[in-house]
């Protein structure tokens, strides 16, 4: 089953587990994974590992993908919390989409989480308030699937996040 998935990562400071583990799960079932970022070349993970970037966030054509997901990490908000990402998020709502770690905040800022159940990184204890302010409900679980939206709370949930993407795309 040929499916093309877009993973969006920060050019600096993405969480390596959230990207590489998710990518591994998706590719293990034959999905093609394309990587977008805010800069071309090699993106640098929090631990210094590198990921090849296939295209710029500004060049993404949402129609080319069966699913679109934002990867988290300390660089996600600095590099991806912007109008280009919001546009991608808004155009993705009718297909499998989502985010892991801190990146559900990008979806909240994009205005696409109203009436959705969402999880994400909340060590600063701000996520529940952010989600409440946009009409979403914070659920303290590792992975939450609400319709075609998948969110996960951080690197420990990366494999489960990937598995949830596969399950949703195979139904």
- Check whether 80 has a pLDDT greater than 90: yes
Domain regions of the chain by residue span: 4-169
Share of the chain above pLDDT 90, in %: 98
Residue-wise pLDDT tens digits, 95-153: 999 999 999 999 999 999 999 999 999 999 999 999 999 999 999 999 999 999 999 99
CATH number for the domain running over 4-169: 3.40.50.880
Q: At what angle do helices 16-28 and 158-169 cross, to 10 degrees?
A: 40
Mean pLDDT of the chain: 97
Confidence category of residue 2, pLDDT binned at 50, 70, 90: confident
Q: ∠ CA(115), CA(120), CA(131), 5° rounding? A: 35
């Amino acid at each position: 089953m040929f499916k093309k998935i877009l993973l969006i990562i920060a050019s600096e400071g993405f969480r390596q587990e959230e990207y590489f583990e998710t990518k591994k799960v998706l590719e293990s079932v034959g999905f093609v994974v394309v990587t977008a970022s805010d800069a071309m070349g090699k993106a640098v993970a929090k631990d210094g590992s590198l990921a090849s970037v296939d295209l710029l966030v500004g060049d993404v054509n949402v129609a080319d993908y069966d699913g679109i997901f934002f990867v988290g990490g300390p660089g996600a908000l600095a590099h991806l919390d912007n109008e280009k990402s919001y546009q991608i998020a808004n155009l993705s709502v009718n297909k499998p989409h989502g985010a892991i770690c801190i990146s559900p905040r990008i979806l909240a800022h994009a205005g696409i989480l109203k009436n959705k159940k969402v999880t994400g990184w909340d060590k600063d204890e701000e996520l529940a308030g952010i989600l409440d302010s946009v009409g979403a409900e914070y659920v303290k679980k590792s992975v939450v699937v609400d319709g075609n939206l998948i969110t996960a709370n951080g690197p420990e949930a990366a494999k489960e996040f990937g598995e949830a993407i596969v399950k949703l795309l195979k139904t």
